[in-house]
Structure 1
Amino acid sequence: MIRHELVARQLEERIATHFEVGRRLRVLDVALGDGAQALRLARGGHQVTGLESDPGRLAAFTSALETEPEGIRARFRALAGSGQDTGAHFLPGTFDVVLCHGVLDRAKDPDSTLAGLARVLDTGGLLSLVIPNAAARAMRPGLAGDWRAARAALVAQPEESDRFLRREALTSFLARIGVPLECWYGVGVFAADGSHGDAGSAAGQEQSADAADAAHEAAAEAAAAVEELACRMDPYRGVAPSLHLFGVRG
């Protein structure tokens, strides 16, 4: 999906900017899921630990990990646990990079989750957060012509559970726990559903499979290039359905 690719590129950009070239980093991925981002980092030579609370997902990932080359398997640990469990598993300052993607909107106690993630970051460490953008909930239904849903989103009163799904509140809290916001991006300004248009699809009916695949890849890359620009520019990034924020441990 294009949104996953955008998050990966944004993360790689911040790592390249923040750390010296060639440094092997200690990475924690909270809520591992399918492990796409974590595996990408392990393939890049970093030492990665993943936490996953769902036994089925953890088993599926562990099985998939067995198909990776031995060197990558040696650099990866997958453990049962959640963002609430970092204090039980790890000492303070254990990691250089912590990924918390799609976690805060489901966390029972986001305050303690974030504080725990800050605790396990080493000085100068990078915290990568991906959250739904609660401030832009009316955009997608409005663009789709679903006026009832758009109005409901516009007039809804903010809920306490939404507090960390709004950039201003999250920025303030990160400063209080010693991981002030360094920069932020939107994610999927135009391709919120992971699509990138249908360029090449009609032609693909008459072309060879190779030509259709090439057209599809070209459309995907064109979409990613536009998204990369929009996701770092105002006002576009502010209305993206998700936000990618980076804090740095002081």
Structure 2
Amino acid sequence: MRQELVSRQLEEQISGRFPVGRRLRVLDVGMARGTQALRLARAGHGVTGLESDPEMLAAARAELADEPEGIRERVRFVEGDGVDTGVHFKPGAFDVVLCHGVLMRVRERDALLAGLARMLAPGGLLSLLVRNGDAVALRPGQAGDWRGALAAFDQLSRTDEEGLAVRADRLADLTRTLAGIAAPLHAWYGVRVFTDGAPDDAQAPAGAELDRLLAAEERAGRTDPYRSAAALLHLCGVRG
């Protein structure tokens, strides 16, 4: 659900910013299994995936191995951390930089974002997917966890199921940060407005019901006030 919604939103931003048919230079920072990287490669773009986790990197390479040769030759993977983009790449080397699900686990958020902005060519697109700090009380509240809901109002950090610290970010804070690194916010969406409270093992519906679910989520993700209550925020900044 998350990947499909973000892919649709990203496609909208790319098609509205770059000429049709242009092959873009894309950097996917913290690409995990490479879902978005492969989608963009299938669309004809040249993609570099940066990932620090060897297991995730191996999984992405296995996924890539199943693709046709024409797609494989448009993708390269680099083992490395998002804070070290300046070590691996030259400033202005990319038209699009993705950083999805990474900021929540990074201590020096602003330093990472400044480094990502430097990777963008003028007019380039920075795509961020973050936990929504303005809606962190919703999930425990909807589950009847009142202690957790009350604590969430004043606490943007929590410990996840694996014992790792996870942080949420507020839209207003990130808007200021993006303006400060010369990649001001151009558009933003909510992701998982209606489905965040579903059990972790819940199965997505099939056929027409899935289409209706995606349509509802997609519309809510771009409509006020619903998008402000989404579990995740997809922010798109443009390099000045």
Instruction: Normalising by structure 2, report the TM-score.
Output: 0.91
Match of 2:177 among 173, 186, 201: 173
1:193, distance to aligned residue in structure 2 (A): 5.7
Partner residue in 2 for 1:122: 121
Residues of 2 paired with 1:194 and 1:184: CA distance? 23
SS at match of 2:103: coil
Q: Which runs of 4+ in 1 moved over 4 A?
A: 161-164
Matched, 1:133 2:95: no
Partner residue in 2 for 1:18: 17
**Identical positions, percent:** 58
1:149, distance to aligned residue in structure 2 (A): 1.3
Partner residue in 2 for 1:37: 36
Structure 2 matches for 1:129-168, cutoff 5 A? Answer: 129-154=128-153, 156-157=154-155, 165-168=169-172
Matched, 1:188 2:192: yes
Q: Could you say if the C-alpha distance between residues 22 and 194 of structure 1 is closer, same or farther in structure 2, counting changes exceeding 3 Å? A: farther
Where is the helix percentage greater, Structure 1 or Structure 2?
1
Residues of 1 paired with 2:192 and 2:215: CA distance? 11
Structure 2 matches for 1:1-250, cutoff 5 A? Answer: 2-154=1-153, 156-157=154-155, 165-192=169-196, 216-250=206-240
Q: Could you say if the C-alpha distance between residues 138 and 163 of structure 1 is closer, same or farther in structure 2, counting changes exceeding 3 Å? A: closer
Q: Could you say if the C-alpha distance between residues 175 and 164 of structure 1 is closer, same or farther in structure 2, counting changes exceeding 3 Å? A: farther
Decide which structure has the larger Cα Rg and report it. 1
Residues of 1 paired with 2:116 and 2:197: CA distance? 29
1:194, distance to aligned residue in structure 2 (A): 7.0
Q: Which amino acid aligns with 1:10?
A: Q
Partner residue in 2 for 1:207: none
Q: Could you say if the C-alpha distance between residues 73 and 87 of structure 1 is closer, same or farther in structure 2, counting changes exceeding 3 Å? A: same
SS at match of 1:48: strand
Q: Which amino acid aligns with 2:229?
A: V
Residues of 2 paired with 1:173 and 1:162: CA distance? 19
Residues of 2 paired with 1:39 and 1:158: CA distance? 32
Q: Which amino acid aligns with 1:141?
A: P
Report if the CA contact (8 A) 2:136-2:156 is conserved: no
1:96-152 CA deviation, whole Å, 9 max, x = no partner? 000000111111321211011000100000000000001101111112222221122
1:36-94 CA deviation, whole Å, 9 max, x = no partner? 11100000000000000001111121122111100111000001012111000111110
Q: Could you say if the C-alpha distance between residues 157 and 147 of structure 1 is closer, same or farther in structure 2, counting changes exceeding 3 Å? A: closer
Structure 1, unaligned stretches of length 5 or more? 202-212
1:212-249 CA deviation, whole Å, 9 max, x = no partner? x9x72211110000111100111100010100000000
Report if the CA contact (8 A) 2:51-2:57 is conserved: yes
Residues of 1 paired with 2:180 and 2:233: CA distance? 20
SS at match of 2:95: strand
Deviation larger for 101-110 or 8-17 = 101-110
Instruction: Normalising by structure 1, report the TM-score.
Output: 0.87
How much is the aligned-residue C-alpha RMSD, in angstroms? 2.1
